[in-house]
Amino acid sequence: MLAAAPAVAAQDVTVPSGQPLSLLEVRLEEVPVLARFRFLAPDLDARGFEAVADDFAVLCADLALPALAASDVTVDKLVISMSAKDVPFGEVAPDVTQFFEVFSIENGDCIWEAF
């Protein structure tokens, strides 16, 4: 893991779905060089993936990239995740709705990677 996670100012992030979100954690990893921005999304079960799909690109471009730039951190990939409950990183919780999207970072832009 990289030495320091970027500072993310406490702020309201408006996403297309209008769902309430709070940042749980930012994790930086060295191999591959990536950042994980983990969000708590308590309404996720009621909304489903289709309703929140556009939120991922907004979180990448409007929150994650500026936070990384402000901390002078460069990554190749960025993972945005949303979870209906606070599940510790790496723990399995099959009863908790969680969605993940991966983006490559190219020329300062988030490029969604379908997988």
pLDDT at residue 14 in the model: 80
pLDDT at residue 10 in the model: 45
Give me the number of domains the chain comprises.
Answer: 1
pLDDT at residue 1 in the model: 43
31 vs 10 pLDDT, higher one:
31
| Structural domain boundaries enclosing 57 | 44-113
Average pLDDT over residues 38-49: 92
Residue 100 domain-assigned? yes
pLDDT at residue 32 in the model: 82
Residue 83 domain-assigned? yes
> H or E element: which one contains 6?
none
pLDDT band at 6 (very low <50, low <70, confident <90, very high): low
Residue 102 domain-assigned? yes
Only one residue has tokens 């950042």, namely 35
CA distance readout (Å), 67 to 15, 33, 46, 50, 95: 17, 16, 29, 26, 31
Average pLDDT, the chain: 88
5 vs 1 pLDDT, higher one:
5
pTM comes to 0.88
Q: What is the pLDDT of residues 75-109, one digit of tens each?
A: 999 999 999 999 999 888 999 999 999 999 999 89
Residue 5 domain-assigned? no
Average pLDDT over residues 29-37: 90
Residue 25 domain-assigned? no
Closest CA to 76 of 17, 24, 27, 35: 35
